Chain A
């Protein structure tokens, strides 16, 4: 569910061959895996379980080290647990949890274009802009600061991307972030080529 159509459109624009699928043969044969997603954490996990994707993705990404990009909820699901709308276990690839943004003076959801502070430049070098589009009420708190690849300030510092070996996740939507987002997607494929 959710933003798969937008991600596909961005990949087509970049001339990157792609298919939307939950089929294990197709996922096993793929060169890269992108997990987009909007909606609640528990619903996202339910969907992955329903199609048997948790074990499959874990095998592909953790054991076989296939390049992986999680977008928005697709990044949050990498955590050990989430709380939307109730406590639910995530895939647990990244130590940490997903909690509601708690800031008195800011409006929730965090919605709009915000500039990220790059910590690990692996995918962010050569971008013409660091403004990306965010739309979320929950955020990922990461245990190991070394995995935080960028942050964004919205009253508090929020993790805007994580990176661990072959795993990359963005809280923002590169597929909705005009040229900066398209450049970032392109560098994900080029760097992992």
Chain B
């Protein structure tokens, strides 16, 4: 049986790890290599690492640092930030990334998702879906001036061959007050792709709520691992108690 994935998400600003609230007010957290080492020792299911400023600052992701992060990981790693051509993807896969996470380039040039998935295979192309509430629905949060509904974006990247979605509720980011189950249900109904729910996990009961109210098979979190004593294993034990399949190790 496929196990629920609990995935620590490391957000990086080009210098160190940071944690934002609602995508602003970054708080410094420390060294990404050290964090990767700790999560590897804890046997986590997967790790996500995103340079959240690379696209905004129009720079490439820092490959030597990524390489040092991946070196610590004997589990799958998804890397995102500043990906703007096929060479960027090639560079990341070559140093051992399993998946690359694309957002800005998919908004600017939807054709890019198709090029990338045709060339490297759908399985390594993950799309970041940063959803911000807008009236009754959600739009993709971005600084590029692109106005697109979340569902339209999701359908577009799925049709273009994306392999996975990371759905991040911008309004819940860093607030540690629970997930946006409405958003996750909306996306999981609209798409057949595997998806990772992100944004709002702050206490163990939030994960219970998410997995009771949605059919999602993976969850990403950041704040709970930085600002509380809880580990990915604690979350998995909580999910096991409500009958969800998890990998305990």
Contacts and interface: CB of A to CB of B under 8 A. Distances in A.
Interface string B55-91: 0000000000000001100111000000000000010
B249 interface: yes
Interface stretch (B26-34, B115-123, B133-141): B115-123
Interface in B114-154: 118-124
Interface in A108-159: 108-115, 128-129, 131, 133, 135-137, 153-154
Main secondary structure of the interface of A (DSSP, over half): mixed
A6 B70 CA distance: 9
B194 A111 contact: yes
B94 A109 contact: no
A109 B98 contact: no
Contacts of A111: 123, 163-164, 194
A85 B218 CA distance: 28
A39 interface: yes
Contacts of B185: none
A12 B89 CA distance: 24
B242 interface: no
Contact of B3 (A3, A39, A113): A113
B241 interface: no
A108 B192 contact: yes
Interface in A38-92: 38-40, 43, 85
Contacts of B5: 112-113
Given A10-B74, A39-B121, A131-B247, A110 B96 contact: no
Interface of A: 1-3, 5-6, 9-10, 13, 38-40, 43, 85, 107-115, 128-129, 131, 133, 135-137, 153-154, 173, 175-179, 181-182
Given A3-B98, A178-B75, 19 more contacts: A5-B94, A6-B96, A9-B74, A13-B74, A38-B124, A39-B121, A40-B121, A109-B194, A110-B2, A112-B46, A113-B3, A114-B3, A128-B249, A131-B249, A137-B122, A154-B2, A173-B76, A176-B74, A176-B75
5 contacts: A1-B94, A3-B96, A10-B74, A111-B194, A113-B2
